[in-house]
Amino acid sequence: MTIFLQYAISGLMVGAIYGLVAVGFVIIVKSSEVFNFAQGELLILGAFVCWALIFQLKLPPWLAVAGTLAFAGLFGMVVERFPLRPMIGQPLFAIIMVTLAVGICLRGFLTAIWGGMSWRVFKPPLLPPEPVRVGKLLLPQQHIYGFFIAVVVVLVLSLFFKYTRAGLAMRIVAEDHKVAQAMGISVRRVFRNSWAMSAILAAIGGILLGSINGINIPLANIGIKAIPAALIGGLQSIPGAVVGGLLIGLLEGLSSGYIGHGVQDVVAYIVMIVVLIFWPHGFFGLETIERV
């Protein structure tokens, strides 16, 4: 039982970070229906930039993190402005392919700058590394911090959507572009904000995962797990994305513990297939309201 809990809890803690990145993915889907296949690369971009600010430019960690988040937000806006805004009104498939191309280019540039397969490690780490003992369980402190940071960020976001004017504008655009325009809301500004937010969330995920495991280019594949997490949650739902992330994390933890290391990389996709077969709209998919 202790071993089970150990696997499950550490899985859930990583899962919260997946959920955070998946929320970013969902924000873009909701506002513009675009699938951002560059989410994984945005994640490693954040991780690398933060690492470089701390260990190459020798900035204090708090400043480096703040700088990384600001950079990520700007970068998201730039991606929205250049390859994507001119594509508004074009077929969705073409837009999605553009995001894929952005991701591949980004991966190439990052490889060129910070090196291919070699690991970049946060040393000293951003979060305290020593594990703590809770009852019989041994929990890495980094995971605990990561979990709470992810939870707090998601909570702040949901408050933002519920209680601020900018959040309301984003939800209105998510409902209907034409109505939003008739109400005088700038749909473009909402697109820009959602890309900025999504890139910031990816960067937070990247910094957390990077400081726990170290950074290399294939870390981007973890960012892409945001897509199954979002799909499991129903693609339109922010709580759904969190649940999807947690579920994937949980099953990864269990499967790598009981079945063997290596399985965890495919578990997300197996879960996604199974869930979509039985719940094609995901767990929290929005249904269009039809009154009878």
User: Residues in the site for another protein, rule: CB under 8 A?
Assistant: 165, 168-169, 171-172, 175-179, 181-186, 286, 288-289, 291
Shorter beta-carbon distance to another protein: residue 178 or 261: 178
* Distance between CA atoms of residues 52 and 62, nearest Å: 13
Shorter beta-carbon distance to another protein: residue 58 or 165: 165
Shorter beta-carbon distance to another protein: residue 6 or 158: 158
Shorter beta-carbon distance to another protein: residue 52 or 286: 286
Helical packing angle, 141-163 and 2-32, nearest 10° = 30
Q: Rounded to the nearest whole angstrom, what is the least distance from the CB of residue 102 to another protein in the complex?
A: 26
Shorter beta-carbon distance to another protein: residue 186 or 221: 186
Q: Rounded to the nearest whole angstrom, what is the least distance from the CB of residue 32 to another protein in the complex?
A: 14
Residue 226 burial by Cβ neighbours in a 10 Å radius (0-12, 13-18, 19+): buried
Shorter beta-carbon distance to another protein: residue 135 or 184: 184
Q: Rounded to the nearest whole angstrom, what is the least distance from the CB of residue 29 to another protein in the complex?
A: 15
Shorter beta-carbon distance to another protein: residue 161 or 269: 161
How far is residue 261 CA from its own chain's centroid? 23
Q: Rounded to the nearest whole angstrom, what is the least distance from the CB of residue 159 to another protein in the complex?
A: 15
Q: Rounded to the nearest whole angstrom, what is the least distance from the CB of residue 187 to another protein in the complex?
A: 8
Q: Rounded to the nearest whole angstrom, what is the least distance from the CB of residue 288 to another protein in the complex?
A: 7
Q: Rounded to the nearest whole angstrom, what is the least distance from the CB of residue 79 to another protein in the complex?
A: 23
Distances (CA, A) of 21 to 25, 128, 214, 220: 7, 22, 17, 11
